[in-house]
Amino acid sequence: MPESIRDLVMEHPLFDAHEHVSSVPDYAKQEPHFSALLGYANADLVTARGPVGVGERVLPAMDDPGYTSAFFELWRRSRVTGYCRATERACRDLLGLEFREENADAITKAYAKFVGDDPRASYCMVLQEKAGVAWGIKDSIHTPEATSDELYPEEFIRFNYRDDGLLCILSRDDVGEREAWWQRSIHSLDNLIDGLMQSISDCLATGKVTSFKIGVAYRRGLDFKDPTRHEAERAFNRLMGVNVDTTVQASSATGLPSRQSRLSAEELRPLQDYITQRYIRRAADEGLPIQVHTGYLAGNTGVLNNINPMQLVPTLMRYPRVRFDLFHAGWPYQHEMGTIGKNFPNAWINLCWAWTMNPATMEHTLDAWLDGVPHCKIFGFGSDTHSPLMVYGYAVQAREGIARVLQRKIDRGDIDLTLAKDIAHCILLENGVHFHGLA
């Protein structure tokens, strides 16, 4: 039995509440290279590089002789960030090498050896044994085939349903893509909604989908209105129609002519919001929770005015019996997120990805949240990355931060060791297991 809170946290099984981890086949076929350990750190390299001209590359092509030196020059400027420190930790602990320019070739060889001749065994080993993931929620699927055990081990991977392209519908081409995916014609708003509902049913029938996901903050704000069917149908009919404001082009989905709408965002919003409301109501009917991206956006130059979780307050009030899992600590709106978590019984607040974005801030955040929010409503970890090796790096970072927070609370006399262990068990594993119905 671990004697210290740090020992318990560092050894405790994890519920990985939000995961983009690659499939086993993709992991197996990835070209071995030291840059495979980048994870989100690529974004910090881009920021470190500064502005680039039109057509100018941030780094040379990977086969360019100057790539490695240029890469590590940017790395030296960035390596103290949370993203980069996690990469260095994973490289050191899993491959036995420091992530340095002089080790670049050795890291590439060690990575290939780590994947080995049995990639599935390596994949499960790093996620389950090294990172300690007991359950992971893979984001995202919209076809039943994507849940195959050949792709993701069913013993510890489950899924959310997600189709942000439909919730943010922009053109006739988006409809054409759904016609190809769903193998049905779509001529009306009812056809479109029926297709979405059947797609959801097909995925739920696998028994592996535990939640729905809304990730539209990358494309629009989170202020969902509740338009009438008539308002949505009017926007849909304009989207599908051909008039002087419409460009005809080849569909990327079918190769057949499609109609690219020139409707404004304001004109499209009733259609988008209507679909989103039907989506939320389907989750309510199924008794399944909804995960929502709030806070920081991956990559660079994101539209950061879309991300404040306070935009969701009307939705939380409209659906008091729907459980919402609000992601990424809402960073940099972590205080607003904590306020939502305290005020709304139907809101859970999630530190997924956040420990990697800004570890120091997340220590202060968790400390404050535990003072204001019942700890049964907090999810402590989600790696939110494609690389299985980086799941480990991000998990270690989260564990260390959580352990420090709980130890400080013990030292201050806020809680004792027994209560700290209970909190750790809840936010690391139990809350997620119960929320997703995996108990």
Query: What CATH number is given to the structural domain containing 420?
Result: 3.20.20.140
If you compute the radius of gyration of the chain from its CA atoms, what whole number of angstroms results? 23
Residue 328, amino acid = H
Place of tokens 């029926």: 194
Give the whole-angstrom CA distance, residue 372 versus residue 375.
9
Quote the CA–CA distance of 208 and 261 in Å, as a whole number.
36
Assess if residue 248 is contained within a domain.
Answer: no
* Token code pair at residue 105: 């070739």
Q: Report how far residue 359's alpha carbon sits from residue 365's, in angstroms, rounded to the nearest whole number.
A: 10
- pLDDT, position 82: 98
Q: Are residues 101 and 154 in the same domain?
A: no
Domain match, 177 and 38 both: no
Q: 297 with 430, same domain? A: yes
Same domain, 357 and 304: yes
**Looking at the domain assignment, is residue 339 inside a domain?**
yes
Taking only the tens of pLDDT, the chain with its 439 residues reads: 567 999 999 999 999 999 999 999 999 999 999 999 999 999 999 999 999 988 899 999 999 999 999 999 999 999 999 999 999 999 999 999 999 999 999 999 999 999 999 999 999 999 999 999 999 999 999 999 999 999 999 999 999 999 999 999 999 999 999 999 999 999 999 999 999 999 999 999 999 999 999 999 999 999 999 999 999 999 999 999 866 555 666 666 566 666 656 788 899 999 999 999 999 999 999 999 999 999 999 999 999 999 999 999 999 999 999 999 999 999 999 999 999 999 999 999 999 999 999 999 999 999 999 999 999 999 999 999 999 999 999 999 999 999 999 999 999 999 999 999 999 999 999 999 999 999 8
Q: Is residue 255 in some structural domain? A: no
H or E segment at 124?
A: helix 119-124
pLDDT of residue 247: 63
- Whole-number Å distance between alpha carbons of 151 and 45: 31
H or E element that contains 326: strand 324-326
Do 77 and 206 share a domain, yes or no?
no
Last residue of a domain, one of 119, 148, 164: 119
Q: Residue 57: which domain range?
A: 23-119
CA dihedral over 62, 394, 439, 214, signed as positive or negative: negative
Domain final residue, candidates 62, 88, 119: 119
Same domain, 296 and 414: yes
Which pLDDT does position 165 carry in this prediction?
96
Would you say residue 63 lies in a domain? yes
Does this model's pTM top 0.85?
yes
How far apart (Å, rounded) are the C-alpha atoms in residues 373 and 367?
10
Judge if 113 and 136 occupy the same domain.
no
Together in a domain, 284 and 414: yes
Q: What is residue 74's three-state secondary structure?
A: helix
- Both 195 and 319 in one domain: the answer is yes
Contact 351, 330 (CB under 8 A): no
Question: Are 135 and 92 within one domain?
Answer: no
Which pLDDT belongs to residue 54? Answer: 86
Residues 312 and 410 in one domain: yes
**Running DSSP on this structure, what letter comes out for residue 32?**
P
Amino acid letter, residue 145:
E
Residues 371 and 399 in one domain: yes
What is the spatial distance between Cα 352 and Cα 195, in angstroms, rounded to a whole number? Answer: 31
Q: What is the pLDDT of residue 375?
A: 98
How many domains, the chain? 2
